[in-house]
Structure 1
Amino acid sequence: MEGTTSSSELGAVVVGVDGSEPARRAALWAASEAARRERPLHIVYAADTDGRALYASVETIERVRKAGRELLDETAAAIAEQHPELAVTTELGRGKPVPSLTRSAALRGTIVVGSRGLGGFSSLMLGSVGLKVAAGATTPVIVVRGPDERAEAGVVLAAVRDENDLDVARYAAREASLRKSSLRLLHVWNVLESVGNVVTMLDNVEEIAGEEVQHLTTVADRIREEFPDLTVHATAEKSRSVAGVLVEASQNADLLVMGGRRSSGYIGRTLGRVTHTLVHYADCPVQLIPRRDGEEGDQS
């Protein structure tokens, strides 16, 4: 990925609204995140009036813009009630939602989007705008997931595969520090992927397991050194489903932080099989950290 953020500071927060309840929830969550970071919040409503101009009347365009302004004002007012000290700006965009959000985040840091949340099975799934933002972002993206009302777990969870995930672990450590929470570094490895399907290679499982744990230990030791006041737990699990273990672990976390896809392909440059599953099914908000071009590839 281009332009992964390796700064020691978490950036400001950008959130998109569209009048839906999931977007409103995402905006309130984003406000809390911005307050924790002591950074401003930027609320975007993408009216797409440029795209409508070819077939809509001037009156229709003005109604759309008026509705957008009212939504932005209402959202900002609701946030001000909960976070009166927070600096909030709003933007009525003329373009489509995805480029409007990514353009704003290029200057302001982290994008927050809501899950679809329409009820029933569809409530598990991420909407098309959120999916496109997550797939193509070059700045961190947080997908707000999980139940509306849930007691805080006091844990930030980070998915760690190897030393290339040190930047991901740093992001998670900063989030945990802001929340005064503990950090859990979780490494999940698939023995079948590691040894292939040749039965005779299973003799090497213990050796492979030791190598897998060493990757996690290296990252954990570095994080403990850089964040001496943070409680860090490092655990490794063997499973046939990396995504399944992470979804289950997300039930006991306030935020799951993981790196985007390391190689191009699948759904955009960020979403692979594992990350795609997590943004649809995780039980807590998921923060995706873009990777650098040239990092060698897993399926995440």
Structure 2
Amino acid sequence: MAAPIVVGTDGSDPAGDAVDWAAGEAGLRHRPLHIVHAAEIWPYQVRRFTEGSGAVSRAGRAILAETEERVRKRHPEVRVTTSLVVNSTVTALRDESEKAFELVLGHRGHGGFAGLPLGSVCLRLAGRSAVPLVIVRGGDGVHGEVAVGHDLDAEPDGALHYAFDAAAVRGARLRVVYAWQISAALAQSGYSVDEERMNDEQRARVIETYAPLRERYPMVEVVDEVLRGHPVAALTRVSRTADLLVVGTHDRPRGMPRLGSVSHGAIHHAECPVAVVGPS
């Protein structure tokens, strides 16, 4: 069976948006949808407490039942399963998504979801998830475009591959965004930059890095956007007319991924769903 799309829910409106997005994604990719609610029963937060453990678990079961019904009505073609997990939210979602295709969360939640605002959960999972993490926020319709922030100093396989695949699945255009800056020291010294030449040189490097993926996805229309400016500002701007923004993480010692400052900024400021993807 195909690996599922896993989505976390706490019954809040942002979680509902995340469920709707995940269900649509499951339909596009012909994958099952697995809906997870994490219940913390403090101070007895141990696995021996089962789904019958009090009001918290009853509320969790009600949230899952309502969410499952919502998906079945809107996406009857999607196979749906649910899970009520008594554990910390981050641990529950990480465990449930270990064999998933991707993990989907709303950008915020409320205390019913493990007692933490979902924004905190997102930040703790971003860069630590074994699978792509999609944080759903904003978006006002279908624009027919996927955008990806590209880092010429990082391995291109993870975020770029995911972005090409996402664009192909949606029949969308892919916008590859690279923003460059000169150092503060050079700027203060009055160093002169031939911006047009620099843009052309950087664009050539960008095209070279994704050339193998363009051969693999020949039907995907690709637009390059190379400019001088702050990467977060550039990604925030393109997110206003994108259906999905893709950003990557960096490797750090012992193979653990790290969420960089640009990806961190994109999560906070983007106006469409953001996929955080680790190196392949």
TM-score, normalising length: structure 2: 0.85
> CA 1:167/1:286 → structure 2, altered by over 3 Å: closer, same or farther?
same
Partner of residue 281, structure 1? 269
- Equivalent residue for 1:270, pick from 245, 248, 258: 258
Partner of residue 231, structure 1? 221
- Equivalent residue for 2:123, pick from 113, 131, 138: 131
* Alpha-carbon displacement from aligned partner over 1:73-93 (angstroms, at most 9, x marks no partner): 110010000111111111110
> CA 1:215/1:126 → structure 2, altered by over 3 Å: closer, same or farther?
farther
2:55 alignment partner AA: R
1:52–1:61 Cα contact (<8 Å) kept: no
Alpha-carbon shift at residue 11 of structure 1 (Å): 4.9
> CA 1:222/1:202 → structure 2, altered by over 3 Å: closer, same or farther?
farther
Partner of residue 246, structure 2? 257
Alpha-carbon shift at residue 222 of structure 1 (Å): 2.5
- Asked if 1:21 is matched to 2:13, the reply is yes
Q: Secondary structure at the match of 2:126?
A: helix
1:191–1:205 Cα contact (<8 Å) kept: no
How do 1:241-256 residues align onto structure 2 when only pairs under 5 Å count?
A: 241-256=230-245
- CA–CA separation in structure 2 for the residues paired with 1:290 and 1:27: 22
2:79 alignment partner AA: A
1:169–1:219 Cα contact (<8 Å) kept: no
Alpha-carbon shift at residue 276 of structure 1 (Å): 1.1
Following TM superposition, the consecutive aligned residue runs of length 4 or more in structure 1 with deviations greater than 3 angstroms are 195-211, 261-264
Q: Secondary structure at the match of 1:136?
A: coil
The CA RMSD over aligned residues, in Å, is 2.8
* Alpha-carbon displacement from aligned partner over 1:50-106 (angstroms, at most 9, x marks no partner): x4327xx99x94211111111111100100001111111111101111111111111
2:214–2:220 Cα contact (<8 Å) kept: yes
> CA 1:203/1:255 → structure 2, altered by over 3 Å: closer, same or farther?
closer
From the two aligned structures, give the one with the greater helix fraction: 1
1:277 alignment partner AA: G
1:252 alignment partner AA: T
Partner of residue 27, structure 2? 35
Residue correspondences, number: 267
Partner of residue 298, structure 1? none
- CA–CA separation in structure 2 for the residues paired with 1:157 and 1:66: 41
- CA–CA separation in structure 2 for the residues paired with 1:126 and 1:271: 17
Gaps of 5+ in 1: 1-9, 119-124, 293-300
- Asked if 1:65 is matched to 2:57, the reply is yes
> CA 1:278/1:117 → structure 2, altered by over 3 Å: closer, same or farther?
farther
- CA–CA separation in structure 1 for the residues paired with 2:278 and 2:241: 24
TM-score, normalising length: structure 1: 0.80
Gaps of 5+ in 2: 111-116
Using the aligned pairs only, state the percent identity: 32
- CA–CA separation in structure 1 for the residues paired with 2:214 and 2:100: 29
2:237 alignment partner AA: E
Which moves more between the two structures, 213-222 or 241-250? 213-222
Partner of residue 169, structure 1? 160
Which moves more between the two structures, 29-38 or 131-140? 131-140
Partner of residue 101, structure 2? 109
Alpha-carbon shift at residue 152 of structure 1 (Å): 0.9
2:131 alignment partner AA: T
2:176–2:224 Cα contact (<8 Å) kept: yes
2:91 alignment partner AA: P
2:104–2:136 Cα contact (<8 Å) kept: yes
